[in-house]
Amino acid sequence: MAWPSFAAFLFLSLEAHPFTQNTNIMNRRSFFKNGSLAAIGSTLINPFQSFGQQPDFDTLKKNKKAKNIIFLVSDGMSTGTLNMADLFLNRKTGKGSHWMQLYKDNRVTRALMDTASASSIVTDSSAGSSSWGGGVRVPNGSLNVGANGEQYLPILQKFKQAGKMVGCVTTVPITHATPAGFCVNSKSRNSQDEIAGQYLDLNFDVMMGGGDQYFAADKRKDKTDMYTKFSAKGYQVAKTRAEMMNATNDKPILGIFGEDAVPYYIDRNNDTDLLKTVPSLAEMAQKAIDRMKNHPKGFVMQIESGKVDWAAHANDIAGLIHDQIEFDEAIKVAIDFAEKDKETLVIITTDHGNANPGVIYGKDANANFDSIQKYTHTNEWLLNNIHADSSASQVRELIATTNGATIADEDAKTILGYYSGLQKEDGGLYNFRKLPFKALAEMQKKTNSVGWISMDHSADYVELAMFGPGSELLKPFVKNTDLHYLMLQAAEVENKF
């Protein structure tokens, strides 16, 4: 007999399924206009299945309103970073990353995302987050403010006005570009004192990360004690892991756990004092969820691993892999909650690539890459423990202790040249002390087989995954701004603000 066309079969299958009777759900499909049917069809039916098999309608179970949204960002995560963290975990523990396992188990909708800003095909983090936050591409350096001063209402303000609880947690200052892109309008991402003040006025429910210098009276330029102001508005202020854990779930929380960013994950985990005093990203995420999960109208939050980007800028392999692993642990927290809750959309992505690292081919690539398992600290920690009066032997001993292998005596002398002023380091955005990150990474490549193409952002199309109600709206290729409207559609919040 003649087979029906795939389009006809798709129509009949959808017509027969109760999903199509729900007009509210079908109205939400207007987000993708003429492309909606094709997007749904590609999710529901594999055209290569035999007609004797029952199509997998698992996604249809997710086709309901997203009461909650958890938006996870590994800032500056090139595809090689995701790959190496999975390889690292697989080779060390026999189990890969939670992110990659979601792919392997076919539990998420997956896409590529174009990350450009209004001013460049290579975005910075403020414009990248603003594309999600305001739904419009803005120039690099600004937060939801266009080239001519146009202001776009950030998405957490929209959701707050719709009655939801909202918040952000991060491993960099809470006033930094990525959380701020979901929260505020500012012509400059660098106005972090001012951004802290805007947070006070916005009355968000959970804000946690680093950034003591933007809240403490003795560190702010205007000498305002922002901690006192937040406390006066009813916030519980936490400055240690214990204080965060002891915060109750009936009041808003401001958690600040570092003067600037919080420590890199591997440095924290190898320091007894830091382990006790600084919460992990997963712990912050869990606390934020616990604070907001019982709200009748739900919640929306952003979770960011900001120092994945900082490590990429520094070509710091231990910092990169372990902070990506810390992010991966936060993914598990979000997915575990969403699985039980069944009303939560989880979005997992990055704002842009950075440095494009990867394992380089060679006969010793396996053993070399496995040597990173012996690293106990980041290159940042290592280089900050070298001084102008250190000897070459001391440098070699320190590297042997932290990396499990050392460098040649000539390489150690080269490193010392940066401390005596004989050589200059010009790479790395967050390299305030001008430490020789690039030089050390090149030396380490000989024994860890990891190469880097740069110390800055790239224009890569990036990974994007979604789980839960609203994930069926995702098309295989999107612009970063599309996510703003997808979130509103998934939550059925009218874009009227």
307 vs 120: CA distance, rounded Å = 23
Residue 36's pLDDT is 36
Amino acid symbol at 353: G
Residue 434's pLDDT is 86
Q: Is 206 helix (H, G, I), strand (E, B) or coil?
A: strand
H/E stretch holding 251 reads none
190 vs 102: CA distance, rounded Å = 36
Q: Which two tokens stand for residue 441?
A: 């990474």
408 vs 81: CA distance, rounded Å = 28
Contact 341, 293 (CB under 8 A): yes
Residue 497's pLDDT is 58
Contact 100, 86 (CB under 8 A): yes
Query: Buried b vs exposed e over 349-371: b needs ≥16 C-beta within 10 Å?
Result: bbbbbbbbbbbeeeeeeeebbbb
Q: Which of 173, 175, 207, 168 is nearest to 192 (CA)?
A: 175
- pTM of the complete model: 0.88
487 vs 470: CA distance, rounded Å = 8
Report residue 172: phi and psi, to 5°. -110, 180
Query: Looking at the DSSP assignment, which residues form a beta bridge with residue 167?
Result: 206, 301
Residue 432's pLDDT is 79
Residue 12's pLDDT is 37
Q: Which two tokens stand for residue 303?
A: 């979770």
Residue 226's pLDDT is 98
Residue 37's pLDDT is 32
* Mean pLDDT, each 10-residue run in order, the chain (497 residues): 40 36 41 36 32 38 82 98 98 98 98 98 98 98 97 98 98 98 98 98 98 98 98 98 98 98 98 98 98 98 98 98 98 98 98 98 97 98 96 98 96 95 73 89 97 97 98 98 98 83
Residues 6+ apart with CB under 8 A from 110: 103, 463, 464, 465, 474, 476
- First-to-last CA distance in the chain? 56
DSSP assignment letter at 254 = E
For the beta carbon of residue 414, count every other beta carbon within 10 angstroms. Answer: 20
Residues 6+ apart with CB under 8 A from 469: 62, 63, 64, 65, 66, 342, 343, 344, 345, 490
DSSP assignment letter at 472 = G
Residue 146's pLDDT is 98
What count of Cα atoms within 13 Å lies in the side-chain half-sphere of residue 284?
A: 34
464 vs 497: CA distance, rounded Å = 27
91 vs 27: CA distance, rounded Å = 47
Contact 168, 183 (CB under 8 A): yes
